[in-house]
Structure 1
């Protein structure tokens, strides 16, 4: 199961991880109940009641580093207070910090890495009695037994992904289909179909970006579903659910260019995808025109920085010129590039950060043909190369699992290499260039804040953020006294 923080439903991505796990358990002959809900008190109470009633073989949670950790911890603790059912955690965060996850006291087993084969073998071992000697034969586990922590051998990567498929029949797929209003809402969208679906066709990435989890979790490997399998699944989405556009969620869809193009030409609906700036620059206008003809309407580009020195520090293996070239090629072909930027890299100077802001302004000047997102503030992910650099420069990582949920959700961690004036820069730029406020019942407040944000952005003045704290105080106050709808109408 997967518990989310309390966010609007349209911002919650499909839980591909647990959908694949359900497929593996089903193939192994086990009955499965899948839960993907906001981690509210009501949901957790119902979950505990269901555990007491059905007494399952195991309870599995998938979680990322960030705010979803908090409801997952709460649910795990409440389950362990009333039941001896083994609680198993998997996903990116437990994979990167399995021992610390077990130290929370409410997690019995961590599944490290890809979970399909691990969860099926673990369920079989638990059905046979769950002895320590049996669990030790299941690769990919870290677990507590007899007062100590046991780590089994690493789980090899799954090579044939086609043997598993997302088990959509356990969830209402319509919850994850949305219109263009909810896709990049505030930066605009070119995917105007009534129903837009996300698909995942591959795992991993062969590149070496120093801030990315892929080096640690996927070890720069790339594995993919066959083109035939992907196109079969897309036909099902179109015929069964009326899907008219697709978001390809892969980290590196065109790692195998020929496979990517084969899929692209067979989709038959508009789509958006992530592509590296260096690949667009290298493959040139003929490639960009080809994907445009195949229906590509938006390309997401991890530009990250306007400073070549920082791009090299990130080990991005792209240049600032690649970014400009990629944008130009996309605009000329009628594809809208959506670029993401970040600041606060350990070792980044104020001059480097200003280069990033200047490049963002340069691209923003191209108008609606380009979407410029960020700059987000760099967060050191455990297991990455920049995490080690951040620690060496004074970053103090959380010492317990709960703190990863608090600090990565709304409250930024203490990163001594980020000037304090830049802590809320993403908020100011997002508000300054926000394109939709018409749905607010009181747009006057948003308009005033937007003008202040634009002034701050133009002058590069981000100190004394009273205009950041005041509306958030009002927002939390209104929600605290039960006026949730008014808080949304006032400011969100």
Structure 2
């Protein structure tokens, strides 16, 4: 049985993780640029989905589709794909491939036009290497206890954090000079995701012999986890001079409404601590959040300005994602003055992102099938 993986740049890390999981089960996912062979697998976001929908529907092979969009809209995707992986794929995808090879029943966690039975497992990260022949980032944690209204992560992976063991992380990264990590919050390693365990973070960092990049894309941190202790650890063990964290809004009211779980004061504290410890902060913002007033928008602009005085900012337009509490919301139009200020900061090299074309934000991100 010949199984292939449809090459989609934004899904490269998903490919690396699922190649490793399928290789363990005896299946090799060769990358292709069109559906071919017996089976072709796809991982789709809510932005990329429309570019591949017709291709999948017309494919002359069995199609298996996963990713954040397929997980959130599995009934819709099952109308044009043969099989839909809902949620995590490391265990479900090889199980589905085995059932197709043997002609047995569709396993739990897979949707078809005929219906869907929820998955009967949660992935243990140590049971699957983060990558093998296909190189990817090293995923050290999965799941998020926070329920940010715009985010698919806790809906895909749950709100209970799971961590890969230090032994497995060290083994996976031993062949490489530079190491970057996939995690919803690097400083939450080894913890419940709410109460940091910096002792465990230090055990991880001190064990690795690589040039470590920690707290940078694709493993950013939360502002309330930026402390003297966490920054001292990065300074002692890591190579990065930047720290990437999310502020999202400059309005405490909006932060409460989107269930962000931190305050504007936490962001200011993180900015001050980065400056004191010699790190350049890189701060994420979402503009056009639903329910914003002019005062809320101005507060966000003010916080963007504060961030760019000591570092840089990534600014993006809100986009409603299926499966999230804000799925049915619409972006709030930006004031002309806001657009002007953001444009001026961009010309000065202080901010990046896309506050007018929200789709750009999602072509550089990936989630596991």
Same fold (TM over 0.5): yes
Is 1:291 matched with 2:234? yes
Query: What residue number does 1:89 align with?
Result: 65
Q: Decide whether aligned partners of structure 1 residues 211 and 337 sit closer, same or farther in structure 2, where only a CA change above 3 A counts.
A: same
Aligned residues: 336
Residues 26-105 of structure 1 mapped to structure 2, 5 A cutoff: 26-35=23-32, 43=33, 47-48=34-35, 51=36, 55-56=37-38, 58-66=39-47, 68-79=48-59, 83=60, 85-103=61-79, 105=80
Which structure has the greater CA radius of gyration? 1
Query: What residue number does 2:19 align with?
Result: 22
Tell me if structure 2 keeps the 8 A contact 1:211–1:314.
yes
Q: Which of 251, 256, 272 is equivalent to 2:184?
A: 251
Query: What residue number does 1:117 align with?
Result: 91
SS class of match (1:22): helix
Q: Decide whether aligned partners of structure 1 residues 387 and 71 sit closer, same or farther in structure 2, where only a CA change above 3 A counts.
A: closer
Is 1:383 matched with 2:328? no
Query: What residue number does 2:346 align with?
Result: 431
Shift, 1:126, TM fit: 0.8
Tell me if structure 2 keeps the 8 A contact 1:377–1:423.
no
Tell me if structure 1 keeps the 8 A contact 2:56–2:63.
yes
Is 1:262 matched with 2:203? yes
Q: Which digits, 9 at most, give the CA deviation of each residue in 1:380-401, with x for residues without a partner?
A: 111112225x2xxxx4xxxxxx
Q: Decide whether aligned partners of structure 1 residues 204 and 59 sit closer, same or farther in structure 2, where only a CA change above 3 A counts.
A: same
Tell me if structure 2 keeps the 8 A contact 1:22–1:32.
yes
Query: What residue number does 1:373 align with?
Result: 314
Query: What residue number does 2:129 align with?
Result: 165
Q: CA RMSD in A?
A: 2.7
Q: Which digits, 9 at most, give the CA deviation of each residue in 1:179-202, with x for residues without a partner?
A: xxxxxxxxxxxxxxxxxxx43222
5+ long unaligned stretches in structure 2: 192-196, 358-369
Query: What residue number does 2:108 align with?
Result: 139
Residues 312-323 of structure 1 mapped to structure 2, 5 A cutoff: 312-323=256-267
SS class of match (1:303): strand
Shift, 1:34, TM fit: 3.1
Tell me the TM-score normalized by structure 1. 0.63
- More helix by percentage: 1
SS class of match (1:301): strand
Q: Decide whether aligned partners of structure 1 residues 422 and 234 sit closer, same or farther in structure 2, where only a CA change above 3 A counts.
A: farther
Shift, 1:218, TM fit: 1.8
Tell me if structure 2 keeps the 8 A contact 1:210–1:314.
yes
SS class of match (2:57): helix
Tell me if structure 2 keeps the 8 A contact 1:231–1:266.
yes
Q: Which digits, 9 at most, give the CA deviation of each residue in 1:403-441, with x for residues without a partner?
A: xxxxxxxxxxxx4x43474896797256323379xxxxx
Task: Determine the C-alpha separation between the residues in 1 that align with 2:247 and 2:348.
Answer: 18
Task: Determine the C-alpha separation between the residues in 2 that align with 1:424 and 1:126.
Answer: 52
Query: Which structure is higher in RCO with an 8 Å CA cutoff and minimum separation 6?
Result: 2
Task: Determine the C-alpha separation between the residues in 2 that align with 1:321 and 1:73.
Answer: 44
Query: What residue number does 1:127 align with?
Result: 101
Tell me if structure 2 keeps the 8 A contact 1:209–1:315.
yes
Query: What residue number does 1:182 align with?
Result: none
Tell me if structure 1 keeps the 8 A contact 2:150–2:324.
yes
SS class of match (1:385): coil
Is 1:233 matched with 2:172? yes
5+ long unaligned stretches in structure 1: 5-11, 36-42, 177-197, 396-414, 437-461, 469-492
Task: Determine the C-alpha separation between the residues in 1 that align with 2:223 and 2:204.
Answer: 21
Task: Determine the C-alpha separation between the residues in 1 that align with 2:15 and 2:342.
Answer: 32
Is 1:337 matched with 2:301? no
Tell me if structure 1 keeps the 8 A contact 2:17–2:130.
yes
Q: Decide whether aligned partners of structure 1 residues 13 and 109 sit closer, same or farther in structure 2, where only a CA change above 3 A counts.
A: closer
Tell me the TM-score normalized by structure 2. 0.82
Tell me if structure 2 keeps the 8 A contact 1:301–1:338.
yes
Shift, 1:152, TM fit: 1.3
Query: What residue number does 2:298 align with?
Result: 354
Residues 165-244 of structure 1 mapped to structure 2, 5 A cutoff: 165-169=129-133, 171=134, 173=135, 198-238=137-177, 243=178
Is 1:275 matched with 2:275? no
Tell me if structure 1 keeps the 8 A contact 2:248–2:286.
yes
Task: Determine the C-alpha separation between the residues in 2 that align with 1:285 and 1:129.
Answer: 57
Task: Determine the C-alpha separation between the residues in 2 that align with 1:199 and 1:25.
Answer: 17
Tell me if structure 1 keeps the 8 A contact 2:155–2:323.
yes
Shift, 1:92, TM fit: 0.6
